[in-house]
Structure 1
Amino acid sequence: MEKPDLVVGIDFGMTCTGVAYANLTRGDTVKWIARWPHRGQANENKVPTIICYPKGSTQPSSWGFGSENQAEKDDENKDYWEWFKTYLDPNVLQDAQMRDLENAPRSQEEVDKWYEDYLRLLYQHIQLKLGSELPNNKPWEHAMVEFIFSLPTTWQPYPTVEKFRTIVERAGYGQHPTHSIDLGLTEPEAAAVHTSSDAPGIFQESEALLVCDAGGGTTDFSVLRIVGAHKGALTLQQLDVVVGKNIGSVHIDRQFEDHCHSRLHQVNEMYNLGIDPVEAAWSMMKTREFQSTKCDFGSPDTTPMFSIPVPGLNSSFNNPQFGVSRSAMTFTSNELQGMFDSQIQRLFAEIDKQLQSFEQKWPRDTISHLVLSGGLGNSAYVQKRLGDRYALGKSTFACARDIQIHVAPDPQLADPLNNKYYLDEAIAWFIKKGEPINVDVPIVHRFSRKMLPGDITMSSTTSIISTNLDKNLLPLQVNNDAEVLCELESNFAGIDDTKFKRKNRHWWSTGKKYSRMDYEIRTVLGPADLRFELWFDGQKLNRDQPIRVEWQPVSAPDPSSSDSAIYVNPVPTPPPFSFGNKSTDKLSGRFSLSNGIKNVRHSSFPSVQATELP
């Protein structure tokens, strides 16, 4: 089969839709479409799944960010549609009409039309953005383009999946002879495959895993068996009935909107604020301030209080009773936690049901992995609560006593300076348990540090982490299986800043101006010590200060073993543990170098002077 020019992956979501692509004529790097209509020069890796029509018209007047505003939503002459993903399933639509006929879509044909129009507008934007990336001015219609759509696990092959395929084709995908459509993986399968490709070797053949795809409006639960894991390519078998529940971040949004409306309504009854509490509450829920607070909840940046602007409110109005001051309303983190907890309790209940069902059907088997994906699954607070309940032998189910929790990375947060995506608290393991080390050759890592104008912070701290886990069980992010071995302090003082690379310095650059310093960390491995050297512009900046390492003797590997390492002399005895590194900075790359003391992970390794911890 001929290699395509472009591979385009489309995740049609309840709240937002994302488009990832790889231009195979230039390499295999996966990127996101991040520029959208009505967002100017802003970078957004997803576009709202919203579409708007003039009343009585079959032609949409806006979509995506063009629809996501109060004017479109409240225009009495327009129909505003969002959160309609699940209604493509006739059974879901029928249930919604029985519960709330007034607010549910009027017909299946209407829902199908929203899908088709939205996907057509999305296709036109994809063609506009990616057509210019084709080599040698190749016309779009002649390029080899493969469109891949992920599917909810609850959709039945007939009629829902086949109907979706028909809608996709009518929207323009696959209309040219060299274009193709693949409705390949379900969303939980895609999460498992992405997790595997992001951390090769963590899944083994015959293992069972439970995928919890917690998205915007729904959460799918799927139990899968790995029937093949050759060279990182997973072959998965579904073991149990897929369950979909109305659990997701949308319901947190709705609770917050209702909470805002309740407060504003009470204040308005007393003082006549001159605003519509319904409109204001919706706008408060949509603000970047709330969405950012929600996404960051549970992280170290969480604060006890947060404030959200109240649109249209006079800045002189204050009401401490309802937390209103200077055109903003203040909330406590406990209030937001309660909204999260209502969804998490439902997650617990459904995961427990899946584990109970698995035990009944496969009483002698175990589930080795719990994979979290989706927007809600990427919440630090959700991850912590699930870890507290299921990880490290805490599960009350025998089949899940040794379950490991993984998060399928979703690059939703971009660095504001360069719009690149980073993974918080990530681990790059560069010395792995049981693998050989060569004391004659240092391990060299190249890093970059970004600095805003006037930044006088010329040092940073990095933690060196160790773990006793085997190399095939190494976590992607910081967890309780790792301990701090020492703290490393780097010092860049005295470097001539004229040698830094200036970024966004041209008049046409829209981003903030900043400097980028490219440097190297060289890890020198001794028979009983580690030494870290900081290099910049071809010169070593630090004095050597080794870390003493107590090696434990182990027997030499069996040369006949298929997975034995090839040793290069002279080497110290490979130790039975692993080293890693965590920094307060963020990691823009992952390393897995074949040298072994401990599994050594590090995020941004700008550390030189070592101080051992007691």
Structure 2
Amino acid sequence: MLSTQPEIVVGVDFGMTYTGVAYWRRNMPQPKVIQRWPGRPHESNRKVPTVLHYPITGNNVPEWGFPSQHSEPKKEWFKRYLDPTYLEQLRAEDPNAGLPTITEVRKWYRDYMSCLFNYISKFLQDQMGPWNMLHVEFIFSLPTTFGSQEITTSLRDLLAEAGFGRGLHTIEFGLTEPQASAVDTAKDSSKTLQSGDILLVVDAGGGTTDAALLEHSSPQDEIPELRELAIIPGIDVGSTNIDAAFELLVDNRLQAGGLSLDESTSYTMAHSPEFQMWKCSFGDDSTEDTPQFLVPVPRLNESASNRRAGIERGKMAFSHADFELLFEPQVVEIVRLIRDQLDSIVHNHPGRYVKYLILSGGLGSSPYLLSRLKAEFMLNSHVAAPSLEILLSDEPQLAVCKGLVIDRMQRIKTRRNVLTGRICPASYGVLCDMPYDKNNRQHIGQDVYKHPIYGVTYVRNQVKWMIKKGESIDVDRHIAHTFTRQVCRLGDADSDNTSKKIWLDKIVISHQEAHRLPGGLKHSDCHVLCKITSDLSTLSLSDFELVKEQKHWLKKLGSREKYRVAEHQIRIVIGSTDLKFELWYKGEQFAQTNSVRVDWQEGAAISAPNFNRRLDSNILAGVRKRKAIENQREQARVGNGLRHRTGGPRSRTPGLFTRDR
């Protein structure tokens, strides 16, 4: 039984610093973007801040988005912590950094998504009317740095708790962030893409930079089609690293000036509109004639100056060279990522070249990054990109949420995906019994038995590889394994026992190259990914095929036993960021409740280890500082409360300790 097509599609790009939402209904020609958000009802804002604040009121109901931007304490930049492996890596670097637990991070995610869902629900129902009886599909993207099935499984549960996916509504994890950006660009680009053009898409956001290498394979501009050419692990590079580096620079300046200001000074300056404006415009022609970038120092008299701290009239001054030092560590990593992919094309696709480098995301829209990439790859061309053109997405910050919706929209309208083919990141197989082959060395010495019905000798616990690493995943191709199971022998007293219609199978994974795949589970790089329970217990015995036992020709025909057997199929649906399984019987999907149950094994990873990830040295410094600020404010709050109850004097904000006139 196939699922009903959605009447409304909502794409959610949950980002490190901002979250974007696009939506589409069947009668709309193009997707739209939510641009009215709580706290800014009369302004147009393409995204809403990914920020939470829990007021000290005891009701534990959080504020979110714009109203919580300037509240303390607030929870922000927690997207990267949703990867438990990365969180533990940070904790190992500094056990005393005050990092949150994975339980805390998941609570923040659930609470933020609950606030987001409630607002989306009200906003869209005000626009379209009640939607409880409509099929609504919520599609979420994930960065390529999230390689564990544990992440998508936990996020799916948290999204359900937040309100998504109730009733006729569904939750889907769609394209990765760079794939979604590529879809948006292919559909809306001012450039006419030709069949065979290769695109390298770099989505540089708040916390991660992800990339996708794609080939435009459609001769029709109206119905673009893209095929993935490589799997590119993401890197921990983003605009929040620039913010963290700026905080460190401010702290060093204050220390050099001998100033004892509030510990949150640099944090406040990094979040100020002035710094964010200079950061976003740095490298643009409009800033070339600006000799210095001025950022106000909070709680400082406007006439105060300190030359050693670079403070003039209450504002700290920064040169172009200062900003270059903030940007360069991120730019260098992005350049390395791009160069590595161009080098890989020379090796894996000789004679082909990248025609377009497409930038999206917040950092991807940086004029400074654009100018540096032009210098690296256009003024000094690479052999795999001799005539490279660098394009910006029309709306870089919205490319992901729009791309998610556009891909689904095209599938509904034309039954054709925009992303028609992807590269399989690993090899997936099923643990099963296979016919014994005396010429197969891997079968020698293995546990064998003769099948009671068919009389064929089988080898136990072998791996049937359904798809191998590096192969193309075609959306029209079924990745499946067919099982033939004995249900019962005709005439047995317990022939209609429900448990005989339920089977447990193991799906295995390997990150070995295709030519080195093992034949069995006894291999260091062959692991059980999950256990699949196939349940056909709702069927009656007559629904199963009746077969006769295969016996030696000398035996009497009348002595052959009769059996009921089930021939069913497990299909694996390999998404860009997760896996799903389907049970098929007699050519149709068996979609009854609990017909397929998946038990993911601990630590199950759908992607190979990402050796591209490099820990930014400023991240932990920022974590430690935020924790210190929280502790300082909590102590001040408690102290002020005690003074209030005892009638003592309240604390005052200290002024400037050093002043140059």
**TM-score, normalising length: structure 2:** 0.55
Q: Give distance in 1, aligned partners of 2:58 and 2:85.
A: 27
1:411–1:209 distance in 2 versus 1, CA, 3 Å: closer
2:212 corresponds in structure 1 to 222
Q: Does 1:19 align with 2:21?
A: yes
Counterpart of 2:87, as a letter, is L
1:100-123 residue CA offsets vs partner (Å, 9 max, x unmatched): 333364433332222111111110
Alignment of 1:253-402 (within 5 A): 253-269=243-259, 275-276=261-262, 278-302=263-287, 303-391=290-378, 394-395=380-381, 397-402=382-387
1:133-153 deviation per Cα after TM superposition (whole angstroms, max 9, x unaligned): 11xxx3231344332222212
Paired residues of 1:195 and 1:406 also in contact (CA < 8 A): no
Are 1:149 and 2:140 counterparts?
yes
Higher relative contact order (Cα pairs below 8 Å, separated by 6+ residues): 2
| Alpha-carbon distance between aligned partners in 1 of 2:134 and 2:69, rounded to the nearest angstrom | 33
Q: Distance in 2 between matches of 1:84 and 1:238?
A: 30
Separation in 2 of the partners of 1:250 and 1:151? 18
* CA positional deviation for 1:11: 0.7
For residues 127-276 of structure 1, the aligned pairs below 5 Å read 127-134=121-128, 138-156=129-147, 158-177=149-168, 179-199=169-189, 202-228=192-218, 230-269=220-259, 275-276=261-262
**Residue identity matched to 2:78:** F
The reply on whether 1:119 has 2:113 as its aligned counterpart is yes
Equivalent position amino acid for 2:249 in 1: H
Please tell me whether the aligned partners of residues 367 and 399 of structure 1 are also in contact (alpha carbons under 8 angstroms).
yes
- Which residue type is aligned with residue 116 of structure 1? R
Change (3 A) 1:129 1:405: same
- State the 1:291 CA deviation: 0.7
1:230 Cα deviation from its structure 2 partner:
3.8
Report the residue type matching 1:259 in the other structure: L
- Percent identity of paired positions between Structure 1 and Structure 2: 39
Q: What is the Cα deviation at residue 412 of structure 1? A: 5.7
Q: Matched residue of 2:362: which SS?
A: helix
Aligned partners of 1:210 and 1:367 also within 8 Å: yes
1:347-496 alignment, distance < 5 Å: 347-391=334-378, 394-395=380-381, 397-410=382-395
**Are 2:50 and 1:49 equivalent residues in the alignment?**
yes
Q: Which amino acid aligns with 2:130?
A: P
Aligned to 1:445: none
The Cα RMSD (Å) is: 2.7
| Change in CA separation of 1:363 and 1:52 when aligned onto 2, cut-off 3 Å | same
Aligned counterparts of 2:201 and 2:232: Cα–Cα separation in 1: 10
SS at match of 1:122: helix
Aligned equivalents of 2:16 and 2:232: distance in 1?
18
Amino acid at match of 1:241: I
CA distance in 2, matches of 1:2, 1:345: 47
SS in 2 for 1:239: strand
Q: Deviations over 1:485-529 (max 9, x none)?
A: xxxxxxxxxxxxxxxxxxxxxxxxxxxxxxxxxxxxxxxxxxxxx
Larger mean CA deviation between 203-212 and 46-55 belongs to 46-55
Q: Say if 1:384 and 1:232 are closer, same or farther in 2 by CA, change over 3 A.
A: farther
| Contact 1:378/1:409 (<8 A) preserved | no
Distance in 1 (CA, whole Å) between partners of 2:141 and 2:183 is 12
- For the pair shown, the structure with the greater C-alpha radius of gyration is 2
Paired with 2:155 and 2:377, the residues of 1 have a C-alpha distance of 36
Q: Cα distance, 1:180 vs. partner?
A: 3.0
Task: Report if aligned partners of 1:116, 1:170 keep a CA contact under 8 Å in 2.
Answer: yes
Corresponding letter in the other structure for 2:355: S
In 2, Cα distance between equivalents of 1:305 and 1:360:
45
**Secondary structure in 2 matching 1:72:** coil
**Distance (Å, rounded) in 2 between the aligned partners of 1:157 and 1:169:** 19
Q: Distance in 2 between matches of 1:104 and 1:401?
A: 48
State how far apart, in whole Å, the 2-side matches of 1:205 and 1:14 are.
35
CA distance in 2, matches of 1:39, 1:100: 39
- 1:103 to 1:48, Cα distance in 2 relative to 1, 3 A: farther
CA distance in 2: counterparts of 1:41 and 1:181, whole angstroms: 31
Q: Deviations over 1:339-361 (max 9, x none)?
A: 12221112112211122222222
- Are the equivalent residues in 2 in contact too, given 1:224–1:238 (CA < 8 A)? yes
1:93 aligns with 2:87: yes
Question: Counterpart of 2:227 in structure 1: which amino acid?
Answer: Q
| Partner AA of 2:194 in structure 1 | Q
Structure 2 CA distance, aligned partners of 1:308 and 1:204?
A: 46
Contact kept? 2:256, 2:308, Cα under 8 Å:
no
SS in 1 for 2:137: strand
**What is the distance in 2 between the residues matched to 1:8 and 1:94?**
33
The residue type paired with residue 69 of structure 2 is: E
Letter of the 1:258 counterpart: L
- Counterparts of 1:365 and 1:104, CA distance in 2: 49
**Count of aligned pairs:** 394
Cα deviation, residue 219, structure 1: 0.6
SS in 1 for 2:167: coil
Q: Report the Cα distance in structure 2 between the residues aligned to 1:205 and 1:159, rounded to whole angstroms.
A: 37
TM-score by length of 1: 0.59
Q: Distance in 1 between matches of 2:225 and 2:106?
A: 32
Q: For residue 44 of structure 1, report the CA deviation from its aligned partner.
A: 2.2
Secondary structure of 2:264's match? helix
Distance 1:86 1:58 in 2: 27
Equivalent pair of 1:200/1:232 in contact (CA under 8 Å) = no
Where does the alignment leave 5 or more consecutive residues of structure 2 unmatched? 399-661
> What pairs with 1:557-568 in structure 2 (closer than 5 Å)?
none
1:163, 1:205 → 2: CA distance? Answer: 39
- Is the 8 Å Cα contact of residues 53 and 60 (structure 1) preserved in structure 2? yes
Paired residue secondary structure (1:353): helix
Q: Which letter maps to 2:303?
A: S
Q: CA deviation at 1:289?
A: 1.2
